[in-house]
Amino acid sequence: MAKENNINNTRDKFQKFGSFLSGMVIPNIGAFIAFGLITAIFIDSGWAPNKKIAELISPLLNYLLPILIGYSGGGLVHGKRGAVAGAIGTFGIVVGADIPMFLGAMLVGPFSGLVIKKFDDLVKDKVPNGFEMIVDNFSLGILGGIICVLSFLFIEPVVVSVTNAMAGGIEFLMNKGFLPLVSLLIEPGRVLFLNNAIDHGIMAPLGLTQVAKVGYSPLFMIIGNPGIGLGILLAYWKFGKGNMKEAAPGAMIIQFLGGIHEIYFPYVLSNPLTLIACIAGQATNIIVMQLLHYGTVYTPSPASIFSVIAMTPKGKYLSMLIVVLSATVVTFLVASIFVKRYYRNYTGDEEEVSENLNENVGNEISSKEIEKIVVACDAGMGSSAMTASSLKKRLKNEGFDLDVIHTSIQSIPDDADLIVVHKELAEAAKKKAPTKTRIIISSYINPKEFDDVVKLLNEKRSDLKTSLEVLPNDNIIIDDSITTKEDALIKINQKFVAGGYTTEKYLDGMKEKESEFHTNMGNGLAIPHGSYDYKSEILNTGLVVIVNKNGITWNDEKVYLVIGIAGKGDEHLEILSKIATEFDTEEKVKEIVELGDKNKIKKALE
């Protein structure tokens, strides 16, 4: 057990590190694609050679792309200030370098952001009022400038040496025919959801160094070849049984045409011997690329066949087809052996007894209604985007109009109410957001655990309807001692907080609203409610009514009926409209005030 925990902890650390590396590259994929297309089209051997336009290639490769990575790396550590510091620091290592400084950017960018973060933590609450902007700007300029100079003088030479050594090592393996052996390391890491870390963190920087020399690199296709996943899925479609066989055709479309490789990882993990097929397919992929001198101008992302075609240099399309087809065929043939063996004694009963991944889900969730659902994966792009889209569609059909977003595990927002994550990444999500409720899914394609999401939402909706009235008797206050607006707002907020309708901060929202707009209506009625910026402090829709026959001073006039409103979502608009319609005259307000009984007031308002 302890050994298994150590393995899981090590994998989680690699996934976290890999997510951080890919988090610097993935936001800038569009810029890399632009570079790849300009290279493929306008270089001397491109589709439309143009020396003038080709002059863009070197600055894009050596300046723009590394600085974007440094900017993103600094931003991951410390927001916009960290991002700007990362860009400044990265500039110091790209100037004068004769190779693309992607590895250097991945080091200097986050380091620059960390320096600014430490400075900000040091001076927090110590800067005199009025000097914040001066301190922010000059600290960023001074520290950023120092890092830039140090990067130029000391870090750049070291990174150049390391990059050249790594590139030389890759070339040595290629020249000696040993490169296929890396498949023994690549494929196990890939199916453990480290594909983005390997692709964008390791292969891409080294591959771009080769692009600068020869115009293409086979390293981009080590993760990018969609044939390996296609071979696995074809084997399950042909020789599998049950749900996995039925899901395979849809998974093939998503994987091969959509480029979401994570879709086939569970197929491998459920039958670990098929990993041998992945290794064989990858080794074939590398060997054939070396024989045909094939590579792409950048890593296909998402790694669909369409991206592979777009990133393939002119004149190498036949080689591309052979590379993809050979990887597919070898993977399929080897995987077929283990898939047939896996299903040799299959009866169909196994699928009826499946692990309940979410048996106790929802026990720890607060009384707050679920509004934002976050689907998280390693990189926050392909697989989570697809799952979030299908989940949103499912929930809409079930009558739930919720905010469903996708993100990387490391970027799970604080305001997430529910996290949906694959079982292989569940521990990483738990460590990142330990207090959040999680629904664990077994597949990225319409998993059966979507039923658990719907069940939880229905339970929450039912609980909220039965546990909280909009206007319980206790929220009706008949008290002539409340004589000022300030006292009334405090009393209303006390009732809201005690009843679980709002947080204590909602009082600030009501006060802010009064400063923006007087809520007394001019007919003896006031309808205080929070400003828009405090909507997140509303937990459930509720009302508090105060009646004072002698009147409450409210912005230089007397009001006798106060209806405090906490409306969830857009419900406050509906409530405001109804109140304004029902109590449009002083006579109607007076009728309620003169009732003098909570039950009668509640009945009249209902």
Q: Answer yes or no: 377 catalytic.
A: yes
pLDDT (0 to 100) of residue 111: 96
Say how far apart CA 79 and CA 524 lie, in whole Å.
Answer: 49
Q: Is the pLDDT of residue 467 over 50?
A: no
User: Do 192 and 180 contact (CB within 8 A), yes or no?
Assistant: no
**Residue 485 clears pLDDT 80, i.e. is over it:** yes
What is the per-residue pLDDT for 464?
A: 52
Most trustworthy range by pLDDT among 382-391, 457-466, 501-510: 501-510
Per residue in 253-270, pLDDT (tens digit) is 888 988 888 788 878 877
Q: Which of 61-65, 427-431, 459-463 has the highest mean pLDDT?
A: 61-65
pLDDT for residue 363: 42
Q: Is the pLDDT of residue 556 over 90?
A: no
pLDDT one-digit tens code per residue, 140-182: 999 999 999 999 999 888 888 887 777 677 667 767 777 788 8
First CA to last CA distance, the chain: 60
What does the pLDDT read at residue 366? 46
- Please report, for residues 39, 246, 283, 397, the alpha-carbon distance to residue 222 in angstroms, rounded to integers and kept in the order given: 20, 29, 9, 40
pTM of the model: 0.58
Q: Single out the catalytic residue among 377, 406, 422, 572.
A: 377
- Percent of the chain clearing pLDDT 90 (strictly above): 28
Mean pLDDT of the 56-80 span: 91
Q: Which two tokens stand for residue 270?
A: 């459920």
Average pLDDT over residues 408-414: 82
Residues 6+ apart with CB under 8 A from 315: 45
Q: Taking the alpha carbons of 42, 43, 44, 50 in that order, is the dihedral positive or negative?
A: positive
Tell me what the mean pLDDT of segment 33-55 comes to.
Answer: 83
Judged against a pLDDT cut of 50, whether residue 351 lies above it is answered with no
Extents of the domains making up the chain:
10-176, 178-342, 372-467, 473-605
CATH superfamily of 372-467: Response regulator (3.40.50.2300)
172 closest CA partner among 206, 128, 124:
206
Per-residue pLDDT at 342: 86
Q: Which two tokens stand for residue 240?
A: 């599998």
Higher pLDDT residue, 16 or 221?
Answer: 221
- Nearest-angstrom CA–CA distance, 10 and 518: 59
Residues 6+ apart with CB under 8 A from 83: 71, 72, 74, 75, 113
For the segment 7-20, what is each residue's pLDDT rounded down to a tens digit? 556 656 666 666 67
Given 78, 200, 406, 529, which residue is catalytic? 529
* Amino acid at site 267: Y
Q: Is the pLDDT of residue 367 over 70?
A: no
Report the C-alpha gap between 15 and 496 in whole angstroms. 43
| Mean pLDDT estimate for the chain | 83
Task: Write the class of the CATH domain 473-605.
Answer: alpha beta
Cα of 69 vs its chain's centroid, Å: 18
C-alpha pair distances (Å), 83 with each of 75, 87, 299: 4, 6, 24
Q: What percent of the chain has pLDDT over 70?
A: 87
Instruction: Give backbone dihedrals phi and psi of 355, rounded to 5 degrees, phi first.
Output: -65, 130
* pLDDT tier at 97, thresholds 50, 70, 90: confident
200 is an active site residue: no
- Count of residues for the chain? 606
Helix (H, G, I), strand (E, B) or coil at 399: coil
Residue-wise pLDDT for 290-309, tens only, equals 999 999 988 887 788 998 99
In the predicted model, is pLDDT for residue 4 greater than 60?
A: no
